[in-house]
Amino acid sequence: MLEAFTWYKQSAYRWRGNGMTVYIDPWGVSAQDGPADVIFITHAHFDHYQPEEIAKVKTAKTKFVAPHDIAKELSGDVKAVRPGDSFEVGGIKGQAVPAYNTAAERLENHPKSKQWVGYVLDLGGRHYYHAGDTDHAPELDRIKTDVAFVPIGGTYTMEAPEAAGLVKAIKPQLAVPMHYGFVVGTPADADLFKRECDPIKVETLKPVHAFEKTEARA
């Protein structure tokens, strides 16, 4: 179910299929990775929205889907979304879902009021949930997806056990950890996530770029 995906780093992915190239929160991409048909942006933080990274893969025909604050900064064919919106862009059907912090110590990182998003996308006949940066918000329990990409690095998002709790609530066929090994979190968090998710199947992808964080914070 992950054959068409490339993980660059953090929460940055490329999907290729059906003659299309799709990027989500591109970071660490290059012009050689191929022009984007559609680019999805989850929120405004530097490790998810970088105009210079987008410039490497965008063309005059590239379509964008982004929350309203980012949509205002983009030019071209841009679809602005809020949590709960359904859309079809470039032949891709999807829904924007909530992405915000609920833990008291993280509330200022991703406030609900920002209306930032994750996405459930229909790609190649399967549903893929890219959570963006979020905690286990109660609305997320209703998500139906085949594959769930969820942040596990902590500090700004869910810790691995919290992310496993979300995965167990939505029961995908496959869970994939992300948002670790670069800004915060280490590969050990992915191992913990896998144990905590049992019996949900977990697959860890190897990023294009080497992990920058390999030791747990003191």
pLDDT value, residue 218:
43
| Other C-beta atoms lying within 10 Å of the C-beta of residue 93 | 13
8 A C-beta contact, residue 68 and residue 85: no
Give domain status of residue 165, yes or no.
Answer: yes
Give domain status of residue 217, yes or no.
Answer: no
Predicted TM-score (pTM) of this structure: 0.97
Range of the domain at 145: 5-197
- pLDDT tens column, 75-110: 999 999 999 999 999 999 999 999 999 999 999 999
Give domain status of residue 103, yes or no.
Answer: yes
Kindly report the average pLDDT of the chain as a whole number.
Answer: 96
Q: How far is CA 74 from CA 62, 70, 88, 177, 208, in A?
A: 11, 7, 18, 29, 26
pLDDT value, residue 9:
98
pLDDT value, residue 216:
58
Is residue 17 very low, low, confident or very high in pLDDT (cuts 50, 70, 90)?
A: very high
Which residues, listed in sequence order, are joined to residue 33 by a DSSP beta bridge? Answer: none
pLDDT value, residue 214:
86
Q: Closest by alpha carbon to 217, among 161, 135, 153? A: 153
Whether 137 has a pLDDT exceeding 90, the answer reads yes
Instruction: Specify the number of domains making up the chain.
Output: 1
Is residue 215 very low, low, confident or very high in pLDDT (cuts 50, 70, 90)?
A: confident
- Report the alpha-carbon distance of residue 144 to residue 169 in Å, rounded: 10
Q: What is the CATH number of the domain that holds 170?
A: 3.60.15.10
Give domain status of residue 104, yes or no.
Answer: yes
Whether 58 has a pLDDT exceeding 90, the answer reads yes
